[in-house]
Amino acid sequence: MGKETSPSLECNMVSLVVLMLMIVSWMLLHRWSQRNNKGPKSWPFLGSVVELLMNYDRMHDWLVQYLSKSKTVVVQMPFTTHTYIADPANVEHVLKTNFNNYPKGEVYHSYMEVLLGDGIFNVDGELWRKQRKTASLEFASRNLRDFSTKVFREYTLKLSTILSQASFLNKEVDMQELLMRMTLDSICKVGFGVEIGTLAPNLPENSFAQAFDTANIIVTVRFIDPLWRIKKFLKIGSEAKLERSMKIIDDFTYSVIRRRKAEIELAKHNEQQSKIKHDILSRFIELGENNATDKSLRDVVLNFVIAGRDTTATTLSWAIYMVMTHAHVADKLYLELKTFEENKAKDEGVTLHQCDIGDSESFNQRVEQFSRLLNKDSLERLHYLHAVITETLRLYPAVPQDPKGVLEDDLLPDGTKIKAGGLVTYVPYSMGRMEYNWGPDAASFIPERWFKDGVLQNESPFKFTAFQGGPRICLGKDSAYLQMRMVMAILCRFYKFNLVADHPVKYRMMTILSMAHGLNLTIHRRH
């Protein structure tokens, strides 16, 4: 005979079954209670993290689906709440009207501190105001603007030479990688006065650039990885990789800072003020004098690199993709640039070189001659070019999401209650696709929407949020437009691009909206 089950064991089994049924019933009731919820459904303890993780690689479009139905979407997360907003009135409330209640916050600061430290994009209060004031003075400086224009022209011509050679050899290129190299070289020259040479013809590997990309991706994942602090403590997985990347980044940055300080001291000692460079790092060293520690300067440098490199390169990548996939836009832009070249040359009494597109030397000379016609003032007269770039930023903003902390409970203009300690995120990627913001053609790429009666128009920074709005509005906006106009003017005047067959174009989830697989193109020269 088999053993009889003891009464106590039977009782325990029944209790376990009852407990499991109670838990399942509770979870189902919890889900049923959210039947009218316009945001993603949540689970007890887990919140909406399961659905978010399932959609992480397409998170921006996942949010578009919800925000198209409701201008405010609340996403429950373990231990906190994320509120996503796409209505300009709510955005203005967060970025301007009640600005002090929505700082970067301790949560954001802790996630990004390893990379951005206490730089301008990662701090609040007096530390932010002080850096903002200094940076504002520098960006208004004619010396920096003239220096930037020279640098942007120089590196765009280097890029053009590489493209010219690729077209001659009928060779495919990854345009995003080339643009990343160009903007990194440019920002390193403008930001801290060094040549790092990643855009050399042989496209050398660069440990600083690789480490910077790796660090950027890993700190982004921290926002949805509840285990990152444990991994950091144990020095395992992605956090171990991040630590190795940061050592490369910091070693390079601190060596530049020490060298620049020594150069400035030597110039002052020899009373050769004219030899002090015009780059941003040199200016911060001079303005900070004895108060500028190597750590504070490191933070300044890396904040400007992430602001001036990735954002510009990704925007240019999407702009070129938009132009080549909209033939009428490419034709209209080419006509504006060709007409501009002829009129500007005539006004300045310049004879344009005859251009033989089959002769590399002749072709490159013509490109260089055209580039000399481009400066801040002349570029600003290229209105259709401006509209193309701006329309790209509307649909593919460099920063697709921007989270803010919440100091105190608040009420948004649409009646949404905001709890202290959570995060409120305005979503430029979604905002550009909302019909309630831009009309029924919101999802279409239409540069003409930026004109009214033939005159170029601006939009509220709380509707067109690519450069943020309110007190934190982007100081580098004019500089970014200057470089993007310079690059697009030269490339779209002299080259026609075609996407390599079957090449996938989709974004990668990181703080910047870069392309996951690059942008593989073939190139043809134009007269």
* φ and ψ at residue 84, rounded to 5 degrees: -105, 135
Question: Is residue 365 classed as helix, strand or coil in its secondary structure?
Answer: helix
In a domain, 23, yes or no: no
Tell me the two tokens of residue 330: 């490419």
Q: What percent of the chain has pLDDT over 90?
A: 58
pLDDT at 34 over 60: no
For the residues 461-471, what does the mean pLDDT come to? 96
Rounded Cα gap, residues 489 and 338, in angstroms: 10
Confidence category of residue 1, pLDDT binned at 50, 70, 90: very low
- Residue 136: per-residue pLDDT: 85
Q: What range defines the domain where residue 471 resides? A: 33-116+123-525
DSSP three-state, residue 76: strand
Can you give the pTM of this predicted structure?
Answer: 0.87
Nearest 10 degrees: Cα torsion 197, 203, 208, 210: 160
Tell me, yes or no, whether 5 lies in a domain: no
Rounded Cα distance, 265 and 273, in Å: 10
User: What is the per-residue pLDDT across 494-508, written as a single tens digit (0 to 9) for each?
Assistant: 999 999 999 999 998
pLDDT > 80? residue 333? yes
Q: Is the pLDDT of residue 28 over 90?
A: no
Rounded to an integer, what distance in angstroms lies between the CA atom of residue 492 and that of residue 333?
Answer: 7
Which amino acid would we find at residue 127? L
**Amino acid at the residue 223:** F
CATH code where residue 292 lies: 1.10.630.10
Give CA–CA dist 131/120, Å, rounded.
Answer: 6
Q: Identity (one letter) of the amino acid at 164? A: S
| ∠ CA 170-176-178, rounded to 5° | 65
157-174: pLDDT as tens digits = 999 999 999 999 999 999
For residue 100, give the amino acid letter.
Answer: N
Nearest in space to 392 (alpha carbons), one of 450, 461, 332, 470: 450
Q: Is residue 3 part of a domain?
A: no
* Mode of pairing for the β-strands spanning 417-418 and 410-411: antiparallel
User: Average pLDDT, stretch 374-399?
Assistant: 97
Distance CA 426, CA 431 (A): 8
Structural Rg of the chain based on CA atoms: 26
Q: Sign of dihedral through CA atoms 446, 148, 253, 176?
A: positive
10 in any annotated domain: no
Residue 448 has pLDDT above 50, yes or no: yes
Contacts of residue 138, Cβ cutoff 8 Å, sequence gap at least 6: 144, 280, 283, 284
Name every residue whose Cβ is closer than 8 Å to that of residue 421 and which is 6 or more positions away in sequence.
Answer: 80, 406
Would residue 467 count as lying in a domain?
Answer: yes
As for how many domains the chain has, the answer is 1
Task: Identify the three-state secondary structure at position 428.
Answer: helix
Task: Please say whether the beta carbons of 302 and 256 come within 8 A.
Answer: no
DSSP state, residue 417: E
The tokens of 492 are what? 């779209």
Q: How confident is the model at residue 354 (pLDDT cuts 50, 70, 90)?
A: confident
The reply to whether 19 falls in a domain is: no
CB atoms within 10 A of CB 524: 12
Q: How far apart are CA 41 and CA 35, in angstroms?
A: 8
For 404, the 3-state DSSP assignment is strand
Cβ contact 301:281 at 8 Å = yes
Phi, psi of 91 (to 5 degrees): -65, -45
pLDDT at residue 27 is higher than 80: no
Q: How confident is the model at residue 510 (pLDDT cuts 50, 70, 90)?
A: confident
Token pair belonging to 353: 């070189």
Cα 468 from Cα 399, distance rounded (Å): 9
State the DSSP code for 19. H
- What is the b/e burial string over 347-379, where b = at least 16 CB atoms within 10 angstroms of the residue's CB? eeeeeeeebebeeeeebbebbebbbebbbbeeb
Domain assignment of residue 11, yes or no: no
Integer Cα distance of 111 and 117 in angstroms: 10
Q: Which helix (H) or strand (E) holds 403?
A: strand 402-405
Fill in the amino acid letter for 226: P
Closest CA to 63 of 467, 397, 422: 397
Stretch 225-251: mean pLDDT? 93
Looking at the domain assignment, is residue 20 inside a domain? no
- pLDDT grade for 152, boundaries at 50, 70 and 90: very high
Contacts of residue 361, defined as CB under 8 A and 6 or more positions apart, other chains included, come to none
**Among the listed residues 124, 107, 74, 51, the one whose alpha carbon sits nearest the alpha carbon of residue 403:** 107
How far is 176 from 199, CA to CA, in rounded Å?
12
Lookup result for tokens 């970025």: 95
CA-based nearest residue to 250, from 188, 297, 185: 297
pLDDT tens digits for range 185-217:
998 888 878 888 999 989 998 898 899 889 988
Burial of 506 per CB tally in 10 Å (0-12, 13-18, 19+): exposed
At residue 343, the pLDDT reads 92
> What confidence tens digit (pLDDT) does each residue in 123-149 have?
998 988 988 888 888 788 888 889 899
Contacting residues for 467 by C-beta, under 8 A, at least 6 apart? 461, 473, 474, 477, 480
Which tens digit of pLDDT belongs to each residue from 54-79?
Answer: 887 889 999 999 999 999 998 876 77
**pLDDT above 80 (res 12):** no
pLDDT digits (tens, 9 = 90+) for 284-315: 888 765 577 899 999 988 888 888 888 999 99
**Tokens representing 410?**
């608040």
Handedness of CA 16, 21, 22, 28 (dihedral sign): positive
Which segment of 30-39, 75-84, 141-150, 459-468 scores lowest on mean pLDDT? 30-39
CB 357 within 8 A of CB 527: yes
